[in-house]
């Protein structure tokens, strides 16, 4: 039996022994937005259950935007520029905005791979974009223990 797995931007055919009982689970079809850019702008201006980002960021001096690394297919080019424009409109200087690539324990995304991940040269030329290095202890700060009783016992 052969199944096709999503692999990067391609498909990977995998041959499996016939004796295996294989069940392929597919995600449900999602609606395609006619104007995704307009939906992003609307979500920034009229978010569900909270104030607009311009209001939330109004007194902030800096902002960090965490994005997934190259191993997760996220359309960063669709939302990063409008998000950054919104933060700048709220009064945060571009020099005080950083896009942080959440690599987990993966390698950093550099060069053309980083350009592809961000998807917009304007973003790369306007704000800092940095990879997070989870194993670099000197870059981390201990912020305390979670004492919220709704999260169960205090965690480290």
Closest CA to 65 of 87, 44, 48: 87
User: Would you list the domain boundaries of the chain?
Assistant: 53-136
Range of lowest pLDDT (17-31, 48-62, 98-112, 124-138): 17-31
pLDDT in tens, 115-142: 999 999 999 999 999 999 988 889 888 8
Please state, in angstroms and rounded to a whole number, the distance separating the CA atoms of residues 116 and 51.
32
Q: Which residues, other chains included, contact 125 with Cβ-Cβ below 8 Å and sequence gap of 6+?
A: none
CA 107 to chain CA centroid, Å, is 16
pLDDT tens digit sequence for 104-117 = 899 999 999 999 99
């Amino acid at each position: 039996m052969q199944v096709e797995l999503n692999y990067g931007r391609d498909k990977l055919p995998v041959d499996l022994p016939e004796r295996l009982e294989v069940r392929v689970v597919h995600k449900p079809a999602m609606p395609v937005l006619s104007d995704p850019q307009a939906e992003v702008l609307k979500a920034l201006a009229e978010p569900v259950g909270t104030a607009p980002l311009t209001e939330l960021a109004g007194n902030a001096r800096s902002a960090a935007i965490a994005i997934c690394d190259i191993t997760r297919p996220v359309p960063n080019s669709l939302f990063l520029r409008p998000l950054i424009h919104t933060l700048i409109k709220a009064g945060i200087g571009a020099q005080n905005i950083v896009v942080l690539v959440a690599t987990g324990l993966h390698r950093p995304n550099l060069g053309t791979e980083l350009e592809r991940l961000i998807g917009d040269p304007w973003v790369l030329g306007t704000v800092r974009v940095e990879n997070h290095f989870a194993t670099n202890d000197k870059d981390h700060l201990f912020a305390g223990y979670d004492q919220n009783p709704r999260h169960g016992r205090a965690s480290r």
